Each structure stands twice: as structure tokens, then as C-alpha cells.
Structure 1
Amino acid sequence: MPLDEQKLDPAIALASLDEAAPREPHRLFALKHGDSFAVADAYGDIRGVGDGFFRDDMRMLSEFRLTLGGRSTSLLGASLSQDNVLFSANLTNLPIKAIDGKEIRQGAIHIERVRLIWQDRLYERLTLSNYGQEQSAILLSLRFAADFRDMFEVRGTVRQKRGTAHLAEAGQNSIVLRYQGLDDVERVSAISFSQMPDQLMPDQADFFLTIAKRGKQTLYVEVGTAVAAPDRERFRAAAARARFAMRAKRRHGATVHSSGRVFNDWINRARADVALLTTELETGPYPYAGIPWFSTAFGRDGVVSALQMLWLNPGLARGVLAFLAQHQATETAPFSDAQPGKIMHETRKGEMVALSELPFGRYYGGVDTTPLYILLACSYADRTGDMDFIDRLWPSLRAAADWIVEASRATGFVTYQRAAASGLANQGWKDSYDSVFHADGRIPKGPIALVEVQGYVFAALRGLAGLAERREEAEQAEEWNRLAEALRERVEQRFWMDELDYYALALDGEGEPCRVRTSNAGHLLYVGLPSAERAAKVAEQLLSASFHSGWGLRTLADDAVFFNPMSYHNGSIWPHDTAICTAGLARYGVRDDVVRLTSGTFEAAVHFNMRLPELFCGFTRAPGEAPIAYPVACLPQAWSAGAAFMLMQACLGLRVDGWTGSIEVTRPRLPIGIDNLMVRHIQVGTVAVDLTFQRVGDRIGAFLSDQHEGSVPLIVRS
């Protein structure tokens, strides 16, 4: 099926692969390092239904299941370490027979399964402890397979032809699985064991383990591109290096600590998820979008994640900007929707894109990524005052601005229409094929102008004008300011719907508005385009029951023809979308409802074990009920994790002015139940300070710590 059609209901494609074992992301556990990641269930098992061990967009393990005495195990519990480095499953045996035929009662054997990924290699430690009353000889089996499926195949795309899977090569302590791709690249999955299996088959290794009463046996397993010699020292060394690397990533930027223990758990998990998904590239850190479907560099997702974290960690924005500038389009290519100056939407490394079966090797079909890139650059400059970096980026920013001007020449708006049938039909952040529609359900013909994209363009032009003034390019600054104000007037004139007191979702190819109320209009508040009067009307509706479910903001009003709280984009709740809209409400002074939205999102996170998924269903909150998970959401997802920090900034009303080297706090609020909150080591120019917010009666005070008082100006507006 065409790729964009998968997003109508991606659960269907995966369920068809194994109807007995649907993928449930909120019960799966993910590990990642670099361009490798693993997704498995709470038992640590990989079943081959959207899960697996992946490297460079190829599934290197499609099955990895443990049995004891020929039976599956019983789950006691599973968890990720606080730093997201180690996965641990605690299991016990069901009633089984020992190798000598004796009965072993349930719960006699404890199995601890610990796993990590370091430098494209999966490490696993299996520790079996015997709590029975006598020595036991037990059969432990590991069943494995590598289907070497491209990520797009795992997502449901059907290929007409595949490469060659070679027969398994068995060694003394290992087995090697090979696949020769149609791209002439050989991919290898080598599974190595710390001891010789008693039986080794192409898809299974059996170990006869004798465990003394109160004794233990440990088995180490590694999966990589070459055979290894797993042992305790290799496992411990890999774990130590992985934890050290993760600590280094988490040290970047300021940290937040509050008086609320559970609230801190959410913030710490969100910070750990951003660190997990952030990959160190040659150009600097880049937050990959999400696991499993989007564990790669996406332009839009990277920019939004960097904007969310900007007040705490501007270094992330710098890395995103450097990477996107390096991969900016320089030529026109219809297959990849590329045009000179356009910023990349997505990059992939798998077999299918190498063969041009799909255009996503480096794909530019995102209409919003280019203005968002400029917006991030301007926001980074405002946050840091780093004009040296902006000056180096300036040719790229000029090229992006030129693309915007050219793209809007025909209609006055930046529009999209895919250049090839293999590209995405819709190219905003809601890119399902049915996410843009008229009130009567008609799918509009292109080229399409999305309302939020015009807001991003407005902010990009205004931001560039400010930077041009600082560069003493007065004429260019005046031109960009003129274009921004003209665009504002056109948006107010063409998108505003008097009968609904709201902005239309889009204009179709004939200029007809899509008279549908969506959360997209909330993004206009984020960039400050609407008048105060119209912003108030949008805010009132976003906060009404049509949008606000109690857990967050739905993407679509509940009276729309395509509304479905279980859909991907037409009525579900996306935490990053709620956060952007909330930041927009804060910009227009809607302070108490910002607190309410933040608290609702936090309470949703509690039900999702402190990890907000990519999206969840938009059903109305009811007393005693939890939010409903979406079946195939990414988890973790960078901009869902980052939503916590954008919401917090909206509550605190905090802004760092990089030009003046000051901190501004406007009408601060604290989340419900939080009496004090400290932002530690927030960088202002060359100085790092600690800023505390304290509830005093019905007011919130903000002050610098004693040792930092007077080191930077703190401006508090009540």
C-alpha cells in the first residue's frame, strides 16, 4: 500500500502479521544507542510483531524468546533503569520437569534477564537462582530468528522482491545469520553465548543447567555483526561505558527539581527519554523522533524537540540546526520532493531507500520544516545571543527564506502538493491521508495551505528580520518585516471563519477554506500571529469540551465529520501538540488554564508509567478511568518527552534573554500540588545560576539562590 495510507490505521497492518499477539507499546520496553535499538515485551522476549533488534533501519533479530523446561516463564516484573540504559525482567518458572524427570514446582527458579545496547551490539545476562529444596537440572532454551526486514516492511509495506537469506552458520559457541540484500550489502546477525550450547539448531540453542540448592548459574549472550566471546567482564564493561555516556548526555543543560516526588519522577523520566533518543552525530546532538517507527533524524520532530528543550539546553538546538543546514536541499528532485533551500523532512539508511523503492533516504516532503528551522535558529539566537553561530548559518537561513518566498509567490501562502505518487500526500505534522478535509468530508485538492504553517512562516520572517537588523542589513530586515505583516493580514482575512469564531484548518487548491476546527489553530497562538481578540476566541474553544478531554487537547473538535478519538490525527491527543497550544495560551496570558493543562498531562503520564507516548486516544476523561493507549504509538517519543518541559516553561513564564543576559519571569505559576521548584544551572551567557520558584499563599515568588544573586538580572512581572 502507499506509505501515507498506512497512517490511517497502522494497527491494522501489524495485527495482520500476528493476530494472536498484537503490539502494545505501553507494555513494551525500548533500549537504544546510536543507530541501533531494541524493542521487547516485559519478559524480554522479541516476537516479531513490530518489535525486534534493529540496526540502520533493518531488523537484525525478529525473534528472541526464552523458555524453561520447554515452557514459557511467569512474569514477576519488568523495568528500565532510571537512566534508560538497562532493561531488567524478573521471571520465574511454571511447573516443569527437570532433565531427570523430577517435578519442579512453580516459583522454585528465579530468572533475572538484564539487557543493554552499546555500540551496535546487544548484551544480555541471564541469571538463574534455585530457591527449591534440592539441586535441579533444567533445560533453558533460547529461540531466535533474523528476518532482515526493512523498517518499512515491518510497518506494513509489501515488497515484490527481497534479497537472499543464507543458511545459518553454527560455531562452537555461536550461530551466524546472513542476508544478502538487493543493494549488494551483506547484513550479519551473529549470536554468541558464554558457554557451549548442549544443542544448537538454526533457530534455537538449548542449555542443560545444573543449579545447586540456593545456587546460581549465569549465561551471557551477545548479538552483533561478528562473533564474540561473551562473559561477565565484557557485560560489565559495556554497561559501565553505556551508563557513563548516558550520564554525560543528561548533564547537558539545566535540570529541574520540585517538592513533588511523583512530579520529579515524570520530569526525570522525560529527561532520560530525551537523552536516550539523542544521538551524537558529527554535527552535534540530534534527538531521533521515536522508537520504533521513527528512530532516525526527522526535521520537524528534531526542531520541535529542540524548541521544547531550548530554555534548558540550547546545545540541542545548535546540534539540530547544524545537521539540518548540512542536509539542506540544493537541487530540484521530484522523487524526494526536494527544492533548493528546502530543509529535510526525514532520512533513512535501510535497503528499500538505498534501492529507491521509497523516497525516504533523504526526503524533503515536509512543508513546515523549513520555516520551523528558521524559527528555531531565531529562537536559539534570542536564547543565547550566539551571533557567531548564526553568522555561519546565515547562507543556509537565506536559502531557506528564499524557498519560502518562492513557495508563496503563486498564492501568497506556503503550500504543498507532492511531486511524485510515492511521496506523502499530506505534508504538515498531521500527515495521514485523511487528516486534511472539508467540513462535509471531501478530501481537498492541492496545493494546500495549512493554517499553522503560515504561522511558522510569519514567525520565521519576523525572526529573520530581527537578526538581519543585528547584522546591519536594514533593507533586508525591512523586507522580511513587510512580508511577515502582509502574511499576517492575509491569514486573518482568508483563514478566519466568522460563523465559527475560529481559524480554518487549510485552504485548498481553489482557495476554499476547510471549515474544520482543529488544534492547528493553537499553533498560531504559539507564534503570536492572531490579534488579542481572536486569540481569546480560539483559547475559549480549545479549552472547551470539544477539544479538552481532561487529559489533553484533541487534535480535532468532537463535532467534525471525521472525528474519531481512536484515530491517528482526527481526535487523538498528541502531548507535543497540547504543549505547543498551551505555550500559545501562556503567550496570550491564559495562566490558570495553562496550569490545568499541565496537570492533566502530568496525570496522563502517571497512568503511562511516567512516559508519555507519541499519542493516545482522545476519549473524555471519566472519574476513576485511565487514558486509553493508541495501539501502535511510538514509545518513547522525543517531542512527547519534551512536552513536559514546554508545559513547565509555560507555567513558570520563564524566558532567558540572550541579548541582555537576563532572566525574565512573567506571572509565574506552579503545577497543582507543587509548592517549590528549582531550575538548577540554567545558563545565561557565561554564567550558570539556580532559580527557585516558591508558593507563598496565593502568589508565586521567583528568586536566584544566595550565591547567584546579582550575577544576572532577574526581572519578575506579576
Structure 2
Amino acid sequence: MKQLVSILDGNTFVVSDRRGDIEPALDFPTGLFSFDTRFLSTWRLLLDGERLHALSIDDTESFRTRYFLVPGEPSHYLDAKVSVIRSRAIGGSLEEELTVLNHSGQEMAFTVRMEMAADFADLFEIKDTQRKNGHNTAAPGEDTLRLNYRRDAFHRETVINSSAPAQVDRKGMTFPVQIGPHGEWTTRLTVTTMIYGARGEDIRTLLPYSGNRTVAAIEVEHADFVARAPKLGCDYQPLAGAYQRSLSDLAALRYESIALGVRLMAAGLPWFMTLFGRDSIITSLQVLPFLPELIPPTLTMLAGLQGHRLDDFRDEDPGKILHELRYGETAGFEEQPHSPYYGAADSTPLFVVLLDEYERWTGDVEMVKKLEFPVRAALAWIDTYGDLLGTGYLWYQTRNPKSGLENQCWKDSWDAISYSDGRLPSFPRATCELQGYAYDAKLRGARMARLFWNDPQYAEQLEREAAELKERFNRDFWLPDKEYYALALDSDGTPVDALSSNIGHLLWSGIVDESRAKRIAQHLLGPRLFSGWGVRTLADDQGRYNPIGYHVGTVWPFDNSIIAWGLWKYGFREEAGQICEAVLGASRYFEGRLPEVFAGYERDLTEYPVQYPTACSPQAWSAGAPLLLLRVILGLEPQGEHLIIDPYVPSGMGRVELLDIPGRWGRVDALGRSREDQANRQE
């Protein structure tokens, strides 16, 4: 049973315990958050001075939740004379309707207390337990409590109002209430978050989706979002459930940029409710066949914030695509380099990949022409600033030793890149999938140059460079004695020989020699890497393997969706299907919502996927994983003005039908059946 409950609507989200309470926590953030600031750090309900306990929670919708509570410990001896319902919804502001019900035949008196506080902590301060430098105040008023924080021009405010009369003090509101027999008492608490700009205006009022919206308006918007996606009909409930949950979560994860006022896809709740280069690009690739209109704002925003100078603090280079953009206090005062931060070596080639894939699906030539200069700059970065050692490979090493990321690939935790015996390699590092992304980016850049930029000479140059990179890579990264590609090269060019899931990304990029592809597929589906619920990030016989280690043995749904796509590209349809079945099967145990990551234990050992304690949920590229897996199952691939449909439905899934797939061809339908379903129909 999950211990935390969240609701979100774009820029604003709430994380609470199962009673609906919010308390400061060091291990996992609870609170009301918006634009990287915590606007409520305490929101604790007391009835006659006692905490309440949850009977049930209705959290089926992403933007509202109801908590059914009673005093005392729930048990079969409980004969509660009173219960409490907390109905919470979020839409720019937080609204909570608090109802106390008297179940007895006599009038009863209660003291209802809501303890309130706002520490205005930046998310980085919560993660790193830093102390604040500004001034925090509380101002009680008539049925209103105003909580303020100022640090120079940085000004944030939380305003809390009650619809019922309240005794307001600096730490909350108290309600002395009397309720008649079988009666009830209700108040509506409204929490408004204020983000003040340099001229003293509330920035949120300037953004159409970040101000206060009604629940009804959010419902309509989410329903419209889901309705625009293709309609799925299938016999396999885990796929049907995951698809619908993914669409719902993707609708909720859209947030609004303060800088440009466009809606983008946030990476995940609670730590990553902002734009991430890598995450946003991969999520865009996953959702492209279903909701292509989500892609242009992301491409435009990333191009607009493309690096243009050398900045060691931010790991910025000309042509480099950002890693992370933050709006909080620590970024504003340059205590963190995230305004934006460029410490990722993969977002730049992936930017090129996304633009080309987007045009192949949509035929949006104007976007390709509009972004010609940013794409050329990105491709130039790969061969200049990205090639730190001048060896023709893409390397990374932070220039900010205090707050820069050590590992600047998707496995960006400190111990994610290691030799098979567990030793950590020196910097700079060149991980294998980075070279695959660079190879793919060059080929896609060549296609765009030839077809849309009228530059065949540049196209030939890129194709020649891609061919040379593929030959060089297959020479230097291949480990003949182990028959797989090294995870990375260290600073001396020595292969980092750990067996990892990264080799699946190589299949997706196309850099793997055909003669070696079968052996890679065998490794990916072999017992060392494949848990039965998906491919582990690190094989179970490696020195740093840990089934609950963040990047050293866990299973990531997004990672597996890319691997399945790569297997499909090389013709390993059955193996791709195994991964699709495993990951979609796991989604049943998470109520259809695939988390960021789950444990890498063997399927036979646990018979269900074990939760990772601090996984983001929902997370964008995990929400996008079922969509990409569905693309793989149906074999969807654009070719000119047509959509190729070549299904391979894994055993046990029966019929899979996707209607109204959008693209340059208009809208088409796809149908696939598993082999046993086809056989049954023929009998």
C-alpha cells in the first residue's frame, strides 16, 4: 500500500500522507509545491487535539482526492460517532472542503484545528537539507492567514482563506463547532500561491493555465486531451489500463513555462516538475505517434534555450541543449546552476533525433526549416565541445566540481558507470549509448540537410562521419571475449566492461553491426539482465549490482521501451514482445501507472514487481513507455506519406486495435492479433 498521496495540475502539486496531512520530511517531500517552491510545509488536521486515521482514499483522478477519516485507530471494535471527509482539488490554487459528520443522535461539540505553515523551501534545499537565507513572516487576519517569504527581489506568498468563521493565529486556524444529531459542519479552505515578479506583479496571473481554474475546467481539458489520442481496443487488460492511465498522467504533467508561457511536459513528481532536455525529448519520442501536437513547444523551447557561450558554472557550451531548467530560489541566486543547467551529453544529439522523427510522422517541413540553425549548432557541438579528447567520440566531464553532475548520461547517479568488478572509471567518460545517439543524429541531420535545407554537401559530410563513427565504435567498444559492447570508455580509452542495459539503446540507434545484433539480443533477454519484469540497468553478476540500486540493477520502464524499440528495428520481434509483456504485466501491480523505476528482483522470487522507495510517480517517460510499447507491438513506422503497420502481438494479448492514428497520412487504424488468437479465428 502506498504511503503518500499526490494530486497535481501542471505547475502545482500536493504530496501528503494517507490522512491528507502535510509535514516537513527529509526523506521524501510532502507539501504544496509550485515552480520549485514549497508553499505549504505543514497542513495538519486535528479533531479535539487528536490526529485522524484513514479509512479510505479516493485518488482515481490526478487533480482531486477525497480522504475518509475517523478518530482513533480503525479496527473491528471501532464504533465512531464522528467521521471526517477531506475533499481536495487543485487548479492553480488548492481547495479543500473539510466536512465533519456527527453520526450520533445527540448534539456534539468539537474543536477542529488546521495547523498551517510554509517554509518556502526550494526543492534543492529539501533534497540537500540546506538552510534558508531570507525572512519568513505570518500575518493572521479575519478568516485569513498570509504567509510571506522575502529575499531581496525574490518574493513568495501563501494566502489561506476559510469560508467558515475561524480563530486565526500565526500557526493555523481553529474552528469551535457544534453539530446537531446526524448533522454536519463544513468549511472550504482555499490556499493561493503568489509568485511576485520584479515589478511586484503576481506572475501566475499572466499565465493562462497557471492561475486559478475550476475543477470543471480541468476535467474538460483532461477529457479533451484524452479524446484527441487514438482509441485503443484490446483483449489484454494491463495494456488497456496502462494506456488510459498514461494518457491521464501525461495530461496532468503538462506545465507552463514562466519564461514563454507555453505548455511543456514536466519530467516527474515530486522532484522533477520542470523541463528536462533528455526526459522531455524521450517522452516526446514515445508520445509522437499518439499526440504529435505536444512536440513543437518542446522543440521550440529547447532550441530557444540552446547554449550560446562557455559557462563552467552551468556546463554550458555553444550549441548544447539544456539538461534542466529551474525557477526556485537557489537557481535565482545562483546557488545551483539550473537557470538553466546544461550538464547532459545526450540531450543535444537526441534533440536532432526528435526533430527528424517529428517530421517523418507529421510532414511539418516548416518546423525543420525553422530549426535549421539550432540543429546545425547541435551537430557541430557533437564534434567540437562534445569530443573532449579529440578521438571522435562523445565524452562528458563536468566543469563545475561543486554542483555539476558527475555522470551526464541518463544513468546520472554517482555510481552508475563502473567496470564489471565495481571499480569506477576516470573522467572524462564516453558511454556507449552516447555514441549511438550521435550516430543516429548525424544520419538524421543528413536527411534533413538533403531534403529540406538544400545542402547535399553537408548531408554527404554527415553520412561519411556517421559511417566512420560506426566503424570506429564497433572496433573500440566491442569486447570479443564477452561478446557485448562496453558500457563506456574511460579517459585512457580503456573499455569499461560492465554488462548493462545501455546496449539496448545501441540497437535503437542503429550503430550495432548486423553480425553482432543477435548476440546483443541474447544478452538483453538472458538471465543476467532480464528479471522477468524487464531488463535490469546492470547485470546481476556485476560488481555493483543491487536490485534496489537506482541505476545499478533496477528496472526502468522507459529504458525497456527504448530497448524494445531497438530490438524491433533489428527484427527481433519475439524478444521485443517479451519486454512488452513483462513491463505491461508489471503495470498491473501499480494500478496501471508505471513508476519511474522498480526493483530488479527475479520474477520467480517475488511474483510481483517490488516498489522502489523514492521513485517518481507519475513520471513522464514512464507514462510514455506503454505508448511506445504499443507502437512496437503494432509495428508502426512512417514511410513517406504512408504508415507501415506490421504487428507482432505477444502471446496471450489477443486482439490489439488502435484507431485514428494521426500523422501526415491523416488518420489510420491498426489491428494486430496474437498467434493463438489468429489460430482460434481460423478454426
Fold shared per TM-score above 0.5: yes
The residue type equivalent to 2:396 in the other structure is Y
Tell me by how many angstroms 1:32 deviates.
2.2
In the alignment, structure 1 residue 47 sits paired with structure 2 residue 23: yes
Cα 1:176/1:429, change in 2 over 3 Å: same
Tell whether the 8 Å contact from 2:421 to 2:544 is kept in structure 1 after alignment: no
Aligned to 1:63: 42
Aligned to 1:713: none
Equivalent runs, 1:30-41 vs 2, <5 Å: 30-41=6-17
Cα 1:174/1:418, change in 2 over 3 Å: same
Aligned to 1:410: 390
Output one character per residue of 1:287-346: Cα deviation in whole Å (capped at 9) or x when no partner. 100011111000000000001111111222222111101111111111101111100110
Tell me by how many angstroms 1:36 deviates.
1.8
Equivalent runs, 1:192-231 vs 2, <5 Å: 192-197=161-166, 199-225=167-193
Tell me by how many angstroms 1:700 deviates.
9.2
Cα 1:644/1:44, change in 2 over 3 Å: same
Tell me by how many angstroms 1:130 deviates.
2.8
Output one character per residue of 1:382-441: Cα deviation in whole Å (capped at 9) or x when no partner. 111211111111111111111112133711101111112121111001111111122333
Tell me by how many angstroms 1:564 deviates.
0.9
Cα 1:603/1:41, change in 2 over 3 Å: farther
- Please, what TM-score do these two structures have when normalized by structure 2? 0.91
Please, which runs of 5 or more residues in structure 1 have no aligned partner?
Answer: 1-23, 97-103, 228-234, 703-718
Aligned to 2:560: 578
Aligned to 1:149: 121
Aligned to 1:527: 509
SS in structure 1 opposite 2:149? strand
Cα 1:43/1:152, change in 2 over 3 Å: same
Equivalent runs, 1:374-523 vs 2, <5 Å: 374-406=352-384, 407-408=386-387, 410-421=390-401, 422-471=403-452, 472-523=454-505
Tell whether the 8 Å contact from 2:648 to 2:673 is kept in structure 1 after alignment: no
Tell me by how many angstroms 1:474 deviates.
1.0
Give the alignment partner of residue 86 of structure 1, picking from 30, 52, 64: 64
Cα 1:317/1:294, change in 2 over 3 Å: same
Aligned to 2:83: 110
The residue type equivalent to 1:582 in the other structure is A
Aligned to 1:127: 99
Aligned to 2:313: 335
Give the alignment partner of residue 235 of structure 2, picking from 259, 268, 289: 259
Tell me by how many angstroms 1:594 deviates.
2.3
Deviates more, 1:414-423 or 1:107-116: 107-116
Aligned to 1:306: 284
Aligned to 2:109: 137
Cα 1:561/1:624, change in 2 over 3 Å: closer
Tell me by how many angstroms 1:671 deviates.
4.8
Cα 1:318/1:415, change in 2 over 3 Å: same
Output one character per residue of 1:508-532: Cα deviation in whole Å (capped at 9) or x when no partner. 1111110111111110011121122
Tell whether the 8 Å contact from 2:654 to 2:676 is kept in structure 1 after alignment: no
Question: Cα RMSD over matched residues?
Answer: 2.4
Tell whether the 8 Å contact from 2:91 to 2:212 is kept in structure 1 after alignment: no
Deviates more, 1:500-509 or 1:69-78: 69-78
In the alignment, structure 1 residue 562 sits paired with structure 2 residue 544: yes
Tell me by how many angstroms 1:105 deviates.
6.7
The residue type equivalent to 1:90 in the other structure is F
CA distance in structure 2 between the partners assigned to 1:213 and 1:678 by the alignment = 55
Output one character per residue of 1:132-178: Cα deviation in whole Å (capped at 9) or x when no partner. 3333222222112111111101112534x521112x21111011111
Equivalent runs, 1:9-28 vs 2, <5 Å: 26-28=2-4
Tell me by how many angstroms 1:236 deviates.
12
CA distance in structure 2 between the partners assigned to 1:262 and 1:504 by the alignment = 35
Output one character per residue of 1:616-645: Cα deviation in whole Å (capped at 9) or x when no partner. 111112366432211211111100111111
Aligned to 1:18: none
- Please, what TM-score do these two structures have when normalized by structure 1? 0.87
**What is the number of residues matched between the two proteins?**
655
Aligned to 1:13: none
CA distance in structure 2 between the partners assigned to 1:307 and 1:689 by the alignment = 19
Deviates more, 1:68-77 or 1:610-619: 68-77
Tell whether the 8 Å contact from 2:634 to 2:671 is kept in structure 1 after alignment: no
Tell whether the 8 Å contact from 1:695 to 1:701 is kept in structure 2 after alignment: no
SS in structure 1 opposite 2:667? strand
SS in structure 1 opposite 2:313? helix
Deviates more, 1:495-504 or 1:85-94: 85-94
Please, which runs of 5 or more residues in structure 2 have no aligned partner?
Answer: 196-210
Cα 1:654/1:699, change in 2 over 3 Å: farther
Tell whether the 8 Å contact from 1:32 to 1:117 is kept in structure 2 after alignment: yes
The residue type equivalent to 1:330 in the other structure is H
